[in-house]
Amino acid sequence: MTQRFHWSRRHILKTTVAGAAALAAGRSALAAPALVKGSKLTYWGGLIFSEKANKLLVDTVNKWGADNGIQTECVMINQNETVQKVSAAVASNTMPDALDLSPDLLLVLSRQGVFALVDELYETIGKAQGGWYPAIATSTDTTKLAGGRTGIPYGASGNLLLRRNDILAKAGFPNPPTTWDELVTQAAAVNKPPLFGLGLALSNVGDGNVQVSVMQSYGGRIADDAGKTVTIKSEATRAYLAWLKGAWDKKIFPPGVTTWDGAGDNQAYLAGQAAFIANTGSVGIAAKSQDPELYQGTLYSSLPGGPKGVVSPIQPNLRSIPKTSKNPDAARALIEHLSQPAFMNAYFENAIYGPVLQDQAKLKAFTGGDPILTGLRDLVQKGTAPAFPDVYNAAYADMLTNFIIPKMAQRVVIDGWDFDRAMDEAQTRTQAIYDKYK
Amino acid sequence: MTATPAADIPTVRPAAPHPRRRFSAATQDAIFAYGLVLPVVLLLIGLVGYPFFYAIYVSFTDRVVGNDGQWIGLANFRYLAGAPAFSSAIWNTVVLVVVTGLLKLAIGLGLALLVNQHLPGRGLFRSFLMLPWAMPAFVAYLTWRVMFQPIGGGINLVLTNTGLYPHIVDWLGQRSTAMPSVILAAVWRGFPFWFVSILAALQTIPNELYEAARVDGATAWQRFRNVTWPGIRQVVIITTLLSSIWTANSFEHVWLLTQGGPSDATMVFPVLAYFGMQTQRLGEAAAVSVAMLPVLMILVFVATSMMQNREDRD
């Protein structure tokens, strides 16, 4: 005789709870990356000037590998060579399992479908640490290009205005300039060669692209809101060029600014040849060890503004996983591990990066009173998204790489072209670039 | 029924004739020789021929990093033809090659004639003159960059301290002085090759020819024109061609000194191609290199023909 089973209310409740728990456990088991013991993982880290930060990253990756039974190989790649190395690796199908890269490169390669989507990981890390800063979130969103996010931001950089407060305060300028005109006024007041007032690069290097921000703060635009039709030639750009020519004619730029390499402004500031420069803060770190007096005499502020406000772009740095990765689960787990506050605090303390997550601003690195890190935190909180007010797309990144605006500036100050001719050339060249992406 | 004799007698097959040799001894030798050089030929096809023709193919595509691209015909070349930097690169490359060539010839020839004389310490002087060539290019050009620095640079210090020119000159930052500065550095680094090539040629001219010319009352200029020049002409031409090819292809002197600036005052083909690579637009970058190919191929062809003729004559 079989006993008939009766579904009591308590029984139903218990079964439901147990089922829900099992389902949840199953889901979490599915979500957890399956790390295969003994598998290999190659990681290309971005080499920066801080040896401590580089070592910390390598050690952390290797320790994570040892803890999880994964053979890690962490190769540090000079960030000036990332484009070439990654390009060669993509062409030869030898990409690592995960890598650090700039948003420009991410943007271009995401169009080609090189990277795996990491939306879930992005959400997980964001939720755990107070959410991403809005400018970081929007500037790294590759959904329109790749159907989802392809990079996890880990640190933001950008330009701060470094000034020789020891000299400027004595000249009656204790506060930083808030407009580009004020900057020229202050720079001209302390311009006594071999100390020159304004150490802004006008050469064909990344630092030269600060001129794009100056132009945009005057209302100049690279392209329209659709990001397709170039609009460089405008009255606003003319106003920017007038500002530049005026400053140039005052002879406040150090000689050589039109051919400076990437370290030109650093060297000029460290050599006492510039009262102001725009820099990521690396000069401050160098001064701290090489010239403590200069370090003490230096103060940091955001870039000045123009008639249309301040344009101070944030440059997020990202970690991505190529689609060709043989160990994508381990790569995801590693990137999540590298976002942990303990590691990031130590990393931020040694590297010149601002926070990308809201909770990171509360880390000791950013509350400890270091003027450079504080400045970078403020930059992330108050700065503008890359390309703002323009549209950040592959054509814009190509325009930056071709140094269109610094070259337009050189046409005016070196070749003596009138503003219309210089704008016409920049307009034509940039439109040719934008047309390639239509 | 009678059996046919053929059925009873066991057939004796005639001995098979010796197989005829399909190839003559000379042909076999040739096949053997070709077999020996085949690995080298395959290696050259793989390492030289394939990249060369592949680069030409890529220049006709819109290839970018991560995407093989499509055949777009001459679109890359049309885009380049409309770019101001391209026309600057053509002009600057021609100026750089011609002017550095002439200066290197003058300096190399002058020093070779000098050192070919019986002078005390001649060996030491020869070694000393080879130093610029022995120095790694990046060290040499970075040193020149430091010397050209407007503030604290060696050249300006000499000029201002001696009172020759009391003003600071931004050697690399002005259109009027940037290219001459690049040329100066390139000549300094490159003249030893000319010097050593011409000196080697000078030493092959028999002394008797000079003595005979002296006996005939030839002046120094006549001796140079009728004895020295015919003896070194072939070497000078080949050196000119090789040096022109190297200078046109050279990247480091312009990149390390000016990066093609100010404006595009020193933009040359290799730097322009490098900028193309930075934007990951491989098709365009390849088009820049391919655009300078015809001229370089003519130079290469002439140089190799002349060297071959010389070898045949020797």
Under the banding of pLDDT at 50, 70 and 90, the label for residue B276 is confident
Statement: residue A414 has pLDDT above 80: yes
Confidence of residue B25 (pLDDT cuts 50, 70, 90): confident
Lowest-pLDDT range of A12-26, A69-83, B141-155, B286-300: A12-26
- Chain A hits for B172, CB-CB cut-off 8 Å, are 256, 259
| Residue A422: pLDDT over 70 | yes
Both A96 and A125 in one domain: the answer is yes
The answer, yes or no, to whether residue A19 has pLDDT greater than 60, is no
Gap from A257 CA to chain B (nearest CA, Å): 7
B278 in contact with chain A, both atoms CB, cutoff 8 A = yes
What's the rounded mean pLDDT across residues B203-232?
A: 92
- A255 contact partners, CB below 8 Å, separation of at least 6: A196, B150, B151, B168, B170, B173
CB A276 within 8 A of CB A270: no
Looking at residues A144-160, what average pLDDT do you find?
A: 93
Q: How many CA atoms lie within 13 A of B25 on its CB side?
A: 0
**In chain B, % of residues over pLDDT 70:** 92
- Residue A309 backbone zone (phi > 0: left; psi -120 to 50: alpha; other: beta): left
For residues A309 and A293, give the distance between their C-alpha atoms in angstroms, rounded to a whole number: 33
- Distance between CA atoms of residues A162 and A291, nearest Å: 15
Quickly count: other Cβ atoms within 10 Å of residue A219's Cβ.
Answer: 18
User: What is the pLDDT at residue A231?
Assistant: 98
- In this structure, the answer to whether residues A297 and A187 fall within a common structural domain is yes
Q: Which residue has the higher pLDDT, A23 or A123?
A: A123
Give the nearest chain B residue to A401 (CA atoms): B279
- A162 has pLDDT over 70: yes
Q: What is the largest CA-CA distance in chain B?
A: 134
B70 close contact with A: CB closer than 8 A: no
Say what the ipTM of the complex is: 0.70
**Among candidates B5, B200, B25, B56, which has minimal Cα distance to B115?**
B200
A109 interfacial to chain B (CB closer than 8 Å) = yes
Check residue A9 and give its pLDDT: 52
Residue A12 tokens, joined: 């139903």
B310 pLDDT more than 70: no
Alpha carbon distance A410, B266 (integer Å): 13
Token readout for B225 is 């024109």
Q: What are phi and psi of A315, to 5 degrees?
A: -115, 100
**Is A397 contained in some domain?**
no
User: Rounded distance, CA A270 to CA A13, Å?
Assistant: 73
Tell me the angle at which helices A51-68 and A328-338 cross, rounded to the nearest 10 degrees: 130
* pLDDT average, residue stretch B112-119: 87
pLDDT at A100: 95
Q: What is the tally of structural domains in chain A?
A: 2
Q: Under a CB-based contact definition with an 8 Å cutoff, are residues B303 and B238 in contact?
A: yes
Residues contacting B276, CB < 8 A, separation 6+: B282, B284, B285, B286, B287, B288
**Residue B311's pLDDT band (cuts 50, 70, 90):** low
Give yes or no for a contact between B84 and B77, defined as CB atoms under 8 angstroms apart. Answer: no
According to DSSP, the residues that pair with B61 across neighbouring strands are B71
**Residues A263, A370: one domain?**
no
- Mean pLDDT over B136-158 rounds to 91
What band does A10 get if pLDDT is binned at 50, 70 and 90? low
Helices (H), A117-206: 119-128, 134-139, 143-146, 165-170, 180-189
Q: What is the mean pLDDT of residues A15-21?
A: 46
Mean per-residue pLDDT for A202-219? 94
Q: What is the mean pLDDT of chain A?
A: 89
Report whether pLDDT(B193) > 80.
yes
What whole-number distance in Å separates Cα of residue A237 and Cα of residue A221?
8
Distance from the B247 Cα atom to the nearest Cα atom in chain A, whole angstroms: 21
Of the candidate ranges A13-22, A69-78, A159-168, the one whose mean pLDDT is the lowest: A13-22
Helix/strand/coil (H/E/C) assignment for every residue in A198-249: ECCCCCCCHHHHHHHHHHHHCCCCCECCCCCCECCCCHHHHHHHHHHHHHHH
Residue in the block written with tokens 């814009």: A396
Tell me the mean pLDDT in the region B124-134: 86
What pLDDT was estimated at residue A180? 97
Tell me if A90 is assigned to some domain: yes
Distances in whole angstroms, Cα of residue B77 to Cα of each of A91, A425, A429, B181: 23, 19, 15, 31
Q: pLDDT digit string (tens) for B35-93?
A: 999 999 999 999 989 999 999 999 999 888 777 789 999 999 998 888 888 889 999 99
Given a contact cutoff of 8 angstroms between Cβ atoms, the answer to whether B64 and B76 are in contact is no
Among A178-187, A258-267, A411-420, B10-19, which stretch is predicted with the lowest mean pLDDT?
Answer: B10-19
Q: Cβ–Cβ of A411/B67 closer than 8 Å?
A: no
pLDDT value, residue B294: 86
- Pairing of β A98-101 and β A40-47: parallel
Q: What is the spatial distance between Cα A91 and Cα A77, in angstroms, rounded to a whole number?
A: 18
Nearest by CB to A112, from B64, B178, B265: name it: B64
The pLDDT value given to residue B144: 95
Nearest to A256 among B79, B172, B263 (CB): B172
What is d(CA A100, CA A110) in angstroms, rounded to the nearest whole number?
14
Confidence class for position A130, pLDDT limits 50, 70, 90: very high
Decide the pairing of beta strands A305-306 and A298-301: unpaired
Residue A25 pLDDT class (50, 70, 90 cuts): very low
| A392 belongs to a structural domain | no
Question: Does pLDDT of A322 surpass 90?
Answer: yes
A324 touches chain B (CB under 8 A): no
Cβ(A325)–Cβ(A43) below 8 Å: no
Q: Is residue A21 part of a domain?
A: no
Two tokens at A184?
A: 């020229």
Give the whole-angstrom CA distance, residue A210 versus residue A312. 9
Q: Stretch B235-240: mean pLDDT, rounded?
A: 90
Whether residue A206 is predicted with pLDDT greater than 80 in this model: the reply is yes
| pLDDT at residue A8, as a whole number | 53
Q: Is the pLDDT of residue A199 over 70?
A: yes
> Is residue A280 a part of any domain in this protein?
yes
Tell me the C-alpha to C-alpha distance, in Å, between residue A170 and each of A160, A175, A297, A314, A434: 22, 11, 11, 32, 48
A233: CATH: 3.40.190.10
Q: Report yes or no on A32 lying in a domain.
A: no
Grade residue B126 by pLDDT with cuts at 50, 70 and 90. Answer: confident
Tens of pLDDT, residues A330-357: 999 999 999 999 999 999 998 889 999 9
> Which pLDDT score is estimated for B63?
86
- What pLDDT is recorded for position B18? 61
Closest CB to B151: pick one of A108, A255, A414.
A255
**Mutation to test the B interface, candidates A259, A412, A434, A437, most B Cβ within 10 Å:** A259
Which residue did the predictor score with more confidence, B222 or A20? B222
Query: Do A283 and A299 share a domain, yes or no?
Result: yes
First and final C-alpha spacing in chain A: 79
Question: Across the interface, which of B257, B262, B281 has its CB nearest the CB of A258?
Answer: B262
A92, A234: one domain: no
Residues A347 and A423 in one domain: no
User: From edge to edge, which strands make up the β-sheet containing A196-198?
Assistant: A196-198, A274-279, A160-164, A298-301
Task: Report the C-alpha gap between B191 and B132 in whole angstroms.
Answer: 8
Examine residue A349 and state whether it is found in any structural domain, yes or no. Answer: yes
Among the listed residues B37, B178, B171, B180, the one whose alpha carbon sits nearest the alpha carbon of residue B100: B180
Pairwise CA distance, residues A430 & A368, whole Å: 44
On whether both A181 and A235 belong to a single domain, the answer is: yes
Q: Are residues A361 and A275 in the same domain?
A: no
Q: Token pair for residue B71? A: 């055949």
pLDDT of B303 higher than 80: no
The verdict on A137 and A63 lying in the same domain is yes
Residues A262 and A284 occupy one common structural domain = yes
pLDDT the model gives residue B159: 93
Q: Which of B 141-170 lie inside 8 A of A, CB atoms?
A: 149-152, 168, 170
Per residue, what are the HEC states of B64-114?
ECCECCCECCCHHHHHHHHCHHHHHHHHHHHHHHHHHHHHHHHHHHHHHHH
Spell out the residues 6+ positions from residue B289 whose beta carbon is closer than 8 angstroms to its own.
Answer: B55, B59, B269, B270, B273
Contact B65 A425 (CB under 8 A): no
pLDDT in tens, A366-384: 998 888 898 899 889 888 9
| B-chain residues near A256 (CB < 8 A) | 149-151, 170, 172-173
* Residue A179, in any domain of the structure: yes
Contact at CB, A86 and B281, closer than 8 angstroms: no
Domains, chain B, ranges and CATH?
84-313 (1.10.3720.10)
Do A62 and A180 fall within a single domain? no
Q: Tell me: do A113 and A259 sit in the same domain.
A: no
Lookup: tokens for B289: 């290199």
For A354, the domain range is 40-157+315-382
Q: Which residues contact A77 (CB under 8 A, 6 or more apart)?
A: A44, A45, A46, A47, A85, A99, A100
Q: Is A265 helix (H, G, I), strand (E, B) or coil?
A: helix
For an interface test with B, the pick among A414, A423, A425, A428 (most B C-beta atoms closer than 10 Å) comes out as A414
Given a contact cutoff of 8 angstroms between Cβ atoms, the answer to whether B181 and B148 are in contact is yes
Report how far residue B141's alpha carbon sits from residue B137's, in angstroms, rounded to the nearest whole number: 6
Pairwise CA distance, residues A166 & A145, whole Å: 48
B133 contact A CB<8A: no
What local confidence, expressed as pLDDT, does residue B67 receive? 77
* Span A399-428, average pLDDT: 94
Alpha-carbon torsion (A342, A345, A351, A354), positive or negative: positive
Per-residue pLDDT band for B14 (boundaries 50, 70, 90) equals low
Residues from chain A that touch B79, judged by Cβ atoms under 8 A, are 432, 436
Residue A290 pLDDT class (50, 70, 90 cuts): confident
**HEC profile of A266-322:** HHHHHCCCEEEEEECCHHHHHHHHHCHHHHHCEEEECCCEECCEECCEEEEEEEECE
Mean pLDDT value of segment A114-142: 94
A376's CB contacts (< 8 A; 6+ apart) are: A156, A157, A158, A160, A281, A352, A353, A354, A355, A366
Residues A231-254 have pLDDT tens digits of 999 999 999 999 999 999 999 999
Flag whether pLDDT at A29 surpasses 50. Answer: no
Q: List the structure tokens of B239.
A: 């050196």
